[in-house]
Chains A and B, each alone.
Chain A
Amino acid sequence: MEREKLFWTALMLLGGLFLAGRAAMVGNGRVYVQAETIAETDAGPVVHHRGVPPSQRSEANVSLSWPRTIGLWVAAFCTLGIMSFVLGDNPFYKLMESIFVGVSAAYLMVAGFWDELVQNLFKSIVPGLMRNSFLPGLEEGLQPDLTYLAPLLMSIMMLWRLAPKGAWIARWPLAFFIGATAGFRLVSYLESDFVQQINNTILPLIVYTADESFDVWGSLRNSLVVVGVLLGLVYFFFSVPHRGVVGGLARGGVWLLMITFGASFGYTVMGRIALLADRLQFLFDDWLWLIDPTMQRMGM
């Protein structure tokens, strides 16, 4: 155990030295921004800063952004912090996990507030106030839509769940939410995932090509799809015991599902590798400047 500790300490020390040396010599992990005046007002110009590739650092109005440079290094350490989990649960990972939970929960709240509560709820109830504050683009003379008092009331009832007493009050808006979900899903699932799927499966078993010759592959494909769907459905039909003919068909369904799950596994692996590649590309390209596939630092 002591030897292992020593190994990791030495590795981290070496990594730190490499980073310090590289940052001093190459200046990697720097972010540049370009100032752009988007409007002139009585209070002065309104300036926006947008990120530009380091290769443009000597252009007009381009400067090094310290907040973004620090941010990039923070992002790199966050990436390493989460990745450290492969070595086992550790305080660095736990710290990152805690930050992630806090930031994401608050981000959802902020998005919900500005994009729905302000944009639709408050806009409908107090359009004048919203026009004079957050939503100046609202048309003038918009009348309040008092039907929105109902979701406002339900919102308050829902938040009542946090109160020490009377949590049952939150059941009313919850019932509305559940009832609505059940209502629109009932019809849509039947239409799209039941009727339409059966419709999609009604295929010609003997297929002819445009020049009226027999299409072996097309016929085989359609036949396998039709038979495959039926076998799969037999497997999922538990009202009849899976014995005899039904048992045989259900066994065919199992084989089909195994092939399906094998394909899903292959695709899942593909997805996860792509995500890891994205993170490593961030570390190598944006942070360490070891590679430059998009020519962001051409000529540097």
Chain B
Amino acid sequence: MKRTVPMIIAATTGFVLIMSHFIPLSEEWGSKAMQWFNVLAAIAFVLGGSNLMRMNLQKISDRRPGWGYAAVTLIAFLVTLSVGLLKVGVQPTSSFPTNAWAAPYNQEGSSLWWLYEYLYKPLASTMFALLAFFIASAAFRAFRAKNPEAIALLSTAFIVLMGRTYVGGLMRDILPRGMEWLSFDSMTNYIMGVFNLAGMRAITIGIALGVASTSLKVLLGVDRSYLGSGDD
């Protein structure tokens, strides 16, 4: 019951979706399965949020180190959730001027929009921008031309870095006619369209085979890792 039923559910769903690809009559079933899938994907957000709340509550109640930050996370979570679900500050739209509930939850000027625009947006974008500093530090400390392969990697990186700037194309004007392919931008285009393409294609084909075999193992019940190891 605890392990067999889920295996049957996974296999049935998977084979229905495979069938729907080949047999037009079963297309409707595949479509239905995808609609249910989308609902579960949305529920996964609810589950994730609830889990975050539970973990942080536990951290606060246990007074574990850093519980103050857990409290901040919890407050930010609850405030965002409340203003988003209650559509605080949302104005009706011209389509339904008497019903504010019909308006988008992230409408410009609403409280959720404010939180997104002035908290989430700067925090998320700066978080990723931060990597520019660390990639520069890694360039200085870690990229060593220790062997021929590393030299190949570094040389390619050098050409691509030059080729993806204004300087990369400048060489074109200096080089003699017929030798323009030696300019950094031409070499970059060639590297990307030939060597990178070939390497990535080999990786893509390998991944495709990996995905197909893993999927088959799941559907045939060979891979049951998603069921966990315990009884409960």
Interface residues of A (CB under 8 A from B): 33, 38-43, 46-51, 67-68, 71-72, 74-76, 78-79, 82-83, 85-86, 94-117, 120-121, 133-137, 147-148, 150-152, 154-155, 158-159, 161-162, 165-168, 171-187, 189-190, 192-194, 197-198, 200-201, 221, 224-225, 227-229, 231-233, 235-236, 253-270, 272-273, 275-276, 278-279, 282
Contact status A224-B195, CB under 8 Å: yes
Main secondary structure, interface of B, reads helix
B135 within 8 A of A: yes
* Number of residues on chain B facing chain A (CB within 8 A): 136
Per the bound structure, the CA–CA distance linking A259 and B112 in Å amounts to 45
Q: Report the number of A-B residue pairs with Cβ-Cβ less than 8 Å.
A: 438
> How many Å from the CB of B139 to the closest CB on chain A?
8
Q: Which residues of B contact A42 (CB under 8 A)?
A: 98
Per-position binary interface string of chain B over residues 83-111, scored 1 when its CB falls under 8 Å from any chain A CB and 0 otherwise: 01100000111111111011001001100
Give B148-172 interface residues, CB cut-off 8 Å to A.
Answer: 149-150, 152-157, 159-161, 163-164
Contact status B123-A151, CB under 8 Å: no
> How many Å from the CB of A30 to the closest CB on chain B?
14
Given A116-B42, A186-B215, A225-B194, check contact A178 B130 (CB 8 Å): no
Most A-side CB within 10 Å, residue of B34, B37, B85: B37
CB nearest to A220 among chain B residues: B194
Q: Which residues of A contact B126 (CB under 8 A)?
A: 78-79, 82-83, 279
B140 within 8 A of A: no
Contact status B10-A178, CB under 8 Å: yes
What are 13 pairs between A and B in contact, CB < 8 Å? Answer: A40-B97, A46-B97, A67-B114, A100-B119, A102-B74, A113-B84, A137-B102, A183-B18, A186-B212, A229-B198, A236-B203, A257-B203, A265-B157
Contact status A266-B156, CB under 8 Å: yes
Contact status B155-A262, CB under 8 Å: yes
Per-position binary interface string of chain B over residues 116-155, scored 1 when its CB falls under 8 Å from any chain A CB and 0 otherwise: 1111111111111111110100010000000001101111
Most A-side CB within 10 Å, residue of B15, B96, B202: B202
Contact status B33-A180, CB under 8 Å: yes
> How many Å from the CB of B150 to the closest CB on chain A?
8
Per the bound structure, the CA–CA distance linking A299 and B54 in Å amounts to 53
Interface residues of B (CB under 8 A from A): 2-3, 5-7, 9-18, 21, 32-52, 54, 66, 69-70, 72-81, 84-85, 91-99, 101-102, 105, 108-109, 112, 114-133, 135, 139, 149-150, 152-157, 159-161, 163-164, 188, 190-209, 211-212, 214-216, 218-219, 226-228, 231-232
Given A96-B123, A105-B52, A158-B43, check contact A174 B226 (CB 8 Å): yes
Given A108-B49, A159-B43, check contact A189 B208 (CB 8 Å): yes
Given A75-B118, A183-B15, check contact A228 B102 (CB 8 Å): no
> How many Å from the CB of B100 to the closest CB on chain A?
9
Residue in contact with B84 in the complex, picked from A107, A165, A231, A257, CB distance below 8 Å: A107
Per the bound structure, the CA–CA distance linking A192 and B72 in Å amounts to 45
Given A79-B126, A183-B17, check contact A105 B195 (CB 8 Å): no
Q: Which residues of A contact B80 (CB under 8 A)?
A: 102-103, 106-107, 110
Contact status B122-A233, CB under 8 Å: no
Per the bound structure, the CA–CA distance linking A263 and B196 in Å amounts to 7
Contact status B160-A267, CB under 8 Å: yes
Q: Which residues of A contact B108 (CB under 8 A)?
A: 48-51
CB nearest to A282 among chain B residues: B122
Residue in contact with B201 in the complex, picked from A137, A172, A229, A278, CB distance below 8 Å: A229
Contact status B129-A279, CB under 8 Å: yes
Contact status B122-A193, CB under 8 Å: no
Most B-side CB within 10 Å, residue of A40, A68, A76: A68
Contact status B202-A232, CB under 8 Å: yes
Contact status A185-B204, CB under 8 Å: no
Per the bound structure, the CA–CA distance linking A177 and B204 in Å amounts to 24
Residue in contact with A158 in the complex, picked from B40, B69, B96, B109, CB distance below 8 Å: B40
Contact status A155-B17, CB under 8 Å: no
CB nearest to B206 among chain A residues: A236
Contact status B199-A198, CB under 8 Å: no
> How many Å from the CB of A288 to the closest CB on chain B?
14
Per the bound structure, the CA–CA distance linking A226 and B189 in Å amounts to 18
